[in-house]
Structure 1
Amino acid sequence: MNKISVLLFSLVVGASLFCQPLQAQSLKVNTVSDLPADPASNDPQSGRPMGSTNRFTFFNFKDGKQVPNSDSATNIWDIGIRATTIIVNGGTGRSGQGGAYIHTGTLESLSAVPETATFAGDENANKLAIPTGSGNGWYTYGGGVISPTNDKVLVIRTGDGKYAKVQILSYYKGGPDGPGSESRFYTFRYVYQPDGSKKLN
Structure 2
Amino acid sequence: MKIMIKFFTILFVAFVFVSCSDDDNGPEPLAVESKTATNIPAPQTGGQPTSDPIGGPFTKFSFSTGAVTTSETEWDIAFRGTTIAVNGGAATGTNDEPERNGEAGAFVATGTFASITDAASYTFAQDSDSGFAILTGSDNGWYNYTPFPVNVISPIPGRVLVLRTHDGKYAKLEILSYYRDAPAEPDGMADEARFYTFNYVYNPNEGQTTLE
TM-score band (shorter)?
0.7 to 0.9
Is residue 2:116 matched to residue 1:110? yes
CA distance in 2: counterparts of 1:139 and 1:78, whole angstroms: 20
Could you say which residue in structure 1 is the equivalent of 2:81? 83
Report how many aligned residue pairs link the two structures: 167
Q: Give the 5 Å matches for 1:59-74.
A: 59-68=61-70, 71-72=71-72, 74=73
The list of structure 1 runs, each at least 4 consecutive aligned residues, that deviate by more than 6 angstroms after superposition, is none
Q: Give the 5 Å matches for 1:30-179.
A: 30-38=35-43, 54-68=56-70, 71-72=71-72, 74=73, 76-93=74-91, 94-115=100-121, 117-124=122-129, 127-142=131-146, 143-176=150-183, 177-179=186-188
Alignment-mate amino acid for residue 211 of structure 2 = L
Alignment-mate amino acid for residue 92 of structure 1 = A
What is the percent sequence identity of the aligned residues? 45
CA distance in 2: counterparts of 1:29 and 1:39, whole angstroms: 29
Q: CA RMSD in A?
A: 2.4
Q: Which of 199, 204, 207 is the aligned partner of 1:194? A: 204
Alignment-mate amino acid for residue 67 of structure 1 = T
- 8 Å contact from structure 1 (residues 39, 183) kept in 2: no
TM-score, normalised on structure 2?
Answer: 0.72
Give a deviation string over 1:20-72, Cα, whole Å, max 9, x none. xxxx99733200110100167xxxxxxxxxxx96110000001101111xx23
Could you say which residue in structure 1 is the equivalent of 2:51? none
| Matched position secondary structure for 2:107 | strand
Could you say which residue in structure 1 is the equivalent of 2:26? none
CA drift at 1:127: 1.1
CA distance in 1: counterparts of 2:35 and 2:172, whole angstroms: 11
Note the residue ranges of structure 1 that are not aligned, 5 or more in a row.
1-14, 19-23, 41-51
- 8 Å contact from structure 2 (residues 117, 211) kept in 1: yes
Task: Select the structure of larger CA radius of gyration.
Answer: 2
